């Protein structure tokens, strides 16, 4: 499970990170969220060991069309997060028609040691097949929106396709965003997390309340205690 940072202020992020007490912290960020500096500052102020933090970052459509190189945009993210290498770096969406060009540059940056894993976000089967056709490589990750409020057969088929091609799925907004999440009680959130874990799908959960964050991560701890010998 990862902590989503979309729409969160430094104060809200600090509250989450100070309450987080597990061995590893995975944080989902993106240039488009506009708070990469705040994420880094909140981690530092929280006292959580920086060496146990992993980051998901994303390059946006606007970054792809502004005339700067992907390396320059990635370096900006690394500088704002105050890290030398990022764990996951994704193309935020297939909106830019030349996304295969961005993909090629990501492959080069990974091979040069700036990125550990490269992937995509909001990509369809057809988008992914275009990448593979042009590069001979599937993305390591596809981050998609998936929750009880918008489940469709098309999304289920996309998940099956990714599983068949060893593409890990990261689930954004598993509770349907803030408006829908407020309709779910603790038991329903627990059911959603348990279902996603049983399908080997990583959840990215954004919340501004540390109490909800602890409740959500406790579900994972309980599942570990059940399935570990």
User: Is the per-residue pLDDT at 127 higher than 70?
Assistant: yes
Per-residue pLDDT tens over the stretch 37-56: 999 999 999 999 999 999 99
Average pLDDT over residues 8-18: 97
Give me the phi and psi of 110, to 5 degrees please.
-65, -45
Instruction: Answer with the residue of higher pLDDT: 229 or 76.
Output: 76
Active-site position among 33, 48, 89, 114: 33
Average pLDDT over residues 56-66: 98
Query: Quick one: tokens of 173?
Result: 């907004």
Give me the phi and psi of 44, to 5 degrees please.
-60, -45
d(C-alpha 121, C-alpha 90), whole Å: 6
The β-bridge relationship of strands 2-4 and 25-28 is parallel
User: Is the per-residue pLDDT at 227 higher than 60?
Assistant: no
Got the DSSP string for 141-171?
Answer: EEEEE--TTT--HHHHHHHHHHHHTT-EEEE
Q: Which CATH class is domain 2-221?
A: alpha beta
Q: pTM of the entire structure?
A: 0.94
pLDDT at residue 229 in the model: 46
| Confidence band for 225, pLDDT divided at 50, 70 and 90 | low
What is the residue-averaged pLDDT of the chain? Answer: 94
Answer yes or no: 6 catalytic: no
pLDDT at residue 178 in the model: 77
Closest CA to 171 of 199, 191, 139: 199
Per-residue pLDDT tens over the stretch 146-189: 988 887 899 999 999 999 999 999 999 999 887 788 788 888 88
d(C-alpha 153, C-alpha 225), whole Å: 33
Per-residue pLDDT tens over the stretch 69-125: 999 999 999 999 999 999 999 999 999 999 999 999 999 999 999 999 999 999 999
Domain boundaries, the chain: 2-221
pLDDT at residue 79 in the model: 98
């Amino acid at each position: 499970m990862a902590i989503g940072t979309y729409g969160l202020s430094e104060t809200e992020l600090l509250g989450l990170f100070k309450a987080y007490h597990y061995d590893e912290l995975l944080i989902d960020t993106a240039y488009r969220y506009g708070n990469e500096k705040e994420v880094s500052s909140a981690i530092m102020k929280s006292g959580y060991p920086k060496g146990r933090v992993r980051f998901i970052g994303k390059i946006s459509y606007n970054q792809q069309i502004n005339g700067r190189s992907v390396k320059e945009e990635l370096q900006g993210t690394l500088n704002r997060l105050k890290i030398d290498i990022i764990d996951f770096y994704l193309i935020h969406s297939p909106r830019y028609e030349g996304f295969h060009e961005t993909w090629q540059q990501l492959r080069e940056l990974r091979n040069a040691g700036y990125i550990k894993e490269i992937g995509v976000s909001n990509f369809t089967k057809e988008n992914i097949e275009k990448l593979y056709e042009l590069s001979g490589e599937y993305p390591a990750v596809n981050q998609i929106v998936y929750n009880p409020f918008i489940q469709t057969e098309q999304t289920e088929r996309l998940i099956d396709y990714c599983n068949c091609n060893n593409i890990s799925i990261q689930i954004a907004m598993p509770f349907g965003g803030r408006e829908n999440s407020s309709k779910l009680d603790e038991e329903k959130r627990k059911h959603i997390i348990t279902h996603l874990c049983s399908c080997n799908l990583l959840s990215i959960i954004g919340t501004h309340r540390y109490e909800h964050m602890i409740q959500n991560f406790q579900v994972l701890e309980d599942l570990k205690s059940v399935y570990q010998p």
